[in-house]
Amino acid sequence: MPEPVLEVKGLTRRFGAFTAVSDLSFEVRAGEIFGFLGPNGAGKSTTIRMLCGVLAPSGGEARALGRNLFTEADQVRAHMGYMSQKSSLLTDLTVAENLRFFGGLYGLQGQALASEVEFRLREMQVWEHRNLLVAALSTGERQRVALASATLHRPRILFLDEPTSGVDPLRRRLFWEAMDELVAEGMSILVTTHNLGEADQCDRLAFILGGRLMAYGRPRSLKEALGRQLIELRTEQFRALQAAARAHPEVLAAELLGRSVRLSLPAGLDSARLLDQLHQEGFAFEALPPEPPSLEDLFVDLVQRARVA
Ligand SMILES: Nc1ncnc2c1ncn2[C@@H]1O[C@H](COP(=O)(O)OP(=O)(O)OP(=O)(O)O)[C@@H](O)[C@H]1O
Ligand SMILES: [Mg+2]
């Protein structure tokens, strides 16, 4: 198993009486894309801001590349890159001027700076926009310029806070391809997203809610651990069938999906018997083959369980 490049233990942040991040522990391994999921206000950005040194923690520990992130920050910071949720690009400068500015902050200069800027802009497919003002760029282009500027100093660990929000599916794919290239260069990435298709592409995930870690692991294991099978029933009687299905105790959930009812059942349950019973109750429907749960099911399940608790 690859070494962890980042180890977080018991990380906590309070704002007055409110605890935004509570006793959070997780690891990011070398060469992985680690996804950070959770609803709005879950504490994702607060966690990243503490790890990047923008915000002081109220408690807990973090080690990065074998050093204490909070007491030996100077030795580690140079190896970290950060793309904040609100882009930090200067909109009244051109793309190239932005990169030269940020490269300068990382201590690059002269020919090294010029060649690093060109390499990154080409890699992110924004080289042809180098003389445009950042203000003139589309969201997708702007995010790729921000990624270029966060990686000029070739960091080992990269923190990306919702880098693809507002980016269309095609440009989002382009962005993820760029991330894959960065990983191939030897970077490890912690990324937050609300897009569960993206989350599925991560090597491992942490799901946080109310500042606490609720689920942690590979996307596939997390979905399996949910212990569900999902069956879609196509029917003209969707409302009545939904109500009838909900009356069966083994049905965990029955939701409307267009003109279908989507049943959530325990993974091991023999669904044929339930479907027979619903037929006998007088319903006409076509059942699609059972599907494993998605990350969206996991997300909804965790949020609902937290509400009940
Ligand atoms: N400086 C601050 N002072 C007080 N409360 C704060 C501060 N910064 C963050 N919070 C609170 O901490 C909680 C977590 O916020 P955070 O921005 O980390 O959430 P998030 O998971 O990044 O959400 P989103 O998905 O919307 O970006 C929120 O309730 C927020 O209001
Ligand atoms: Mg956030």
Please tell me the number of the ligand nearest to residue 207's CA: 1
Whole-number Å distance, alpha carbon 97 to ligand 1 midpoint, is 31
pLDDT band at 292 (very low <50, low <70, confident <90, very high): confident
Q: Indicate whether residue 49 lines ligand 1 (CB < 6 A).
A: no
Is the domain covering 227-292 a CATH 3.30.70.100 domain?
A: yes
pLDDT in tens, 229-250: 999 999 999 999 999 999 999 9
On the question of a common fold for 4-223 and 227-292, the answer reads no
Question: Taking the alpha carbons of 230, 234, 238, 244 in that order, is the dihedral positive or negative?
Answer: negative
Question: In this predicted model, what pLDDT tens digit does every residue of 196-222 receive, in sequence order?
Answer: 999 999 999 999 999 999 999 999 999
Share of the chain above pLDDT 70, in %: 100
pTM greater than 0.75 (yes/no): yes
pLDDT tens string 187-198 = 999 999 999 999
Higher pLDDT residue, 309 or 56? 56
Contact by Cβ (8 Å): 53, 131: no
* 4-223 is classed CATH 1.10.645.10: no
Nearest to 177 by CA among 156, 196, 194, 163: 163
Task: Break the chain into its structural domains and give their ranges.
Answer: 4-223, 227-292
Q: Which residue type does 163 have? A: P
pLDDT at 303 over 90: no
CA of 43 to the centre of ligand 1 (A): 6
Best mutation site among 36, 45, 82, 303 for ligand 1 pocket (most ligand atoms within 8 Å of CB): 45
**Ligand 1 center–CA 128 separation, angstroms:** 37
Tokens (6 digits) for 87 = 């882009």
Closest C-alpha residue for ligand 1 atom 6: 15
